[in-house]
Chain A
């Protein structure tokens, strides 16, 4: 009997943290529990990393806050689950998280075979090269015969091989198991070039003894569009997450910033801005959230440009120029469908 009871006790303890309500749609579920559960990385400089105060910061993190602002009108109603590269999709499939915003490259395999939907591109990344300034190399096409440091078992190595073969260049690869080893080897001069995603290069550069002696070459040899992901099966939620990013891009395009958004709500005459801030039309309601969703996003998180500058922009230690991530009308790739 005692044994039976202890079994019951164990079962009870097991279920204690159960979520009570089972709502029909993802949006209702999220609203019922009162926060957005967002999967981020376990630490990637500028995209998601804990700061000195122990709160998560970064571009991916701020996107999650924007989703929370859209759904609840409150950017703080979000909780973060740090995930490793291996278990990020499992966590999304099992419903452990609502949104995955973890520097995930959008590829056809992931989009079509894992039961997931990519909602957009928050950052156009691509593989690049870091080299010492005193090597006097200005283009990756001059790298023939170079020794290249990279991490084993990643797509980086494959892209590298493809690029050098396509351009009829020779190279020697020096591969290491972890990123930190790669950086140390490069810093110690064991190879001429270090290659990884350009956003990563900016972070790695800071770990070098003299960061200013190194330069990132202009060539990008692979496409790595990074974006948020949601699970299949709920188109309304998919729409909301998708349009949060579009709203941030539209806000930047129309000059809406966290400083002037409230003023614009009152005084805007431009119909595009009026539709964006919800004084005209009922676009928010159409998605099942408030009509002032964009105001909440821009006020609390900022438009895309503000989000970018705060986390990875030229004034941060990472010093990443906008480049291809500039708006389409400023020579970049970031383009959002209109709100109308």
Chain B
């Protein structure tokens, strides 16, 4: 209320309610004015954008959904003047697009691998979920071995091979098999492990280091490798499925995931090596990185697949997929190394000096101070590499490994599905699938960036 005095003085003793802002500046209308039509340039860009969407979206929707054929048994269903996408084609070829030529009655094996991969990866990616250490151990150590055994069928006689080529007592004893296990190999293996541990321990003790520590580490390495060989050797009764029969999304994911998982640690090591003070290490790393960066991936794959067998001793014929995997991993590691090096160079000298002043060793300094900062800085670059690696996997088609896109292209040639729209349908589907994967990766990287990078945010 207010008071009015006799002399006409007016005193308000209460605040006036503020008027609502002009209607053109609030709500949807205000937002649109502010963001879409704030200036001439902005208005032009907005209108151009709307025109573009209006131009592209309706035909796309019409082709993909409205005019599309949804059911049918063969090409007859998708013939006609005004036919959109031929989805029965994708349905008929779906199994092949996912598993390639993997035998139909064995497809539960890749299914388990897919499911286990998702089950292990999702908790790893969500930062608030517990048991990260156990989870990473499962994902990075146990999961690859299990997947390998499941997908190939295991039982590959690794011990027999190692025994024949590296066995110390092989020439004296020969193979003795007990209960399906190559007994002499394991005797040999244990002896080698003890000898190697004693040698390393003794050497380090002589040099004044911790002999028992080194010996223990050596034994652990032998133990881990032995477990790996044993896992490969056990006959689980799964029929052998050679990698030639793998294909489709299975191969795309195997190559991409292996490449991604292998390239990051390798790339970090190479980047550290390139910035190392040790001349030989530095030289080797520079040569490695520049060699792999200087050669196109297609050449690497072609060389690994068709040239390598000519140079290897006859009788050794490494698996084609393995060759491509190693090629892709080394190739992407070289690129990753340069990305990581960019991050390392962005860290100011003060961080190094501060770490050294604290009395940290080199590895502690890198692990606790430098790398966490450097890697955070280059997350966009790292994810960039991952995404391009994922898409580069399609190049394995030239070495006759049918990845997702290769399998699709092979499906185009089936005369039972040859129609005018088959090609468009296939590529539309492939586009959606690739987009889902790449967009997913990119969103996740944004999420991680925002979480780690709060101090730098604008």
Contacts and interface: CB of A to CB of B under 8 A. Distances in A.
A131 to B, nearest CB: 18
A317 B416 contact: yes
A209 B409 contact: no
B200 to A, nearest CB: 5
Contacts of B75: 206, 317
Interface stretch (B37-45, B115-123, B161-169, B356-364): B161-169
Nearest to A94: B309
B244 interface: yes
B244 A81 contact: yes
Given A45-B414, A87-B302, A96-B306, A180 B423 contact: yes
23 contacts: A2-B221, A9-B225, A12-B165, A13-B322, A14-B322, A15-B161, A16-B158, A16-B161, A16-B318, A18-B317, A18-B318, A42-B400, A43-B411, A44-B413, A52-B416, A53-B104, A82-B410, A87-B305, A87-B399, A95-B309, A207-B420, A208-B420, A318-B415
A187 interface: yes
Contact of A52 (B92, B200, B397): B92
Given A187-B420, A203-B413, A54 B315 contact: no
Interface in A199-214: 203, 206-209
Given A82-B402, A318-B415, A94 B322 contact: no
Given A52-B414, A91-B306, A5 B225 contact: yes
B258 interface: no
B319 A49 contact: no
Contact of B400 (A1, A12, A20, A81): A81
Interface string A70-93: 000000000101111011001100
Interface string B74-93: 01000001000000000011
A50 interface: yes
- Report the contact-size class of chain A (Cβ under 8 Å from the partner): 35 or more
B101 interface: yes
Contacts of A87: 302, 305-306, 398-400
Contact of B93 (A9, A52, A207, A209): A52
Interface residues of B, number: 62
Contacts of B210: none
Contacts of B399: 87
A43 B409 contact: yes
A79 B320 CA distance: 14
A258 to B, nearest CB: 22
Given A43-B409, A49-B413, A316-B415, A17 B318 contact: yes
Contact of B415 (A16, A49, A208): A49
Nearest to A13: B322
A4 to B, nearest CB: 9
A128 interface: no
A209 B93 CA distance: 22
Given A14-B322, A49-B414, A50-B410, 6 more contacts: A12-B161, A12-B165, A22-B315, A42-B402, A45-B414, A87-B306
Contact of B162 (A12, A81, A96, A207): A12
A15 B317 CA distance: 7
Contacts of A13: 322
Nearest to B81: A209
B355 interface: no
Interface string B177-188: 000000000000
5 tightest Cβ-Cβ pairs between the two chains A and B:
A43-B413, A206-B418, A17-B319, A45-B415, A49-B413
B406 interface: yes
Nearest to A6: B221
A179 to B, nearest CB: 10
B450 to A, nearest CB: 37
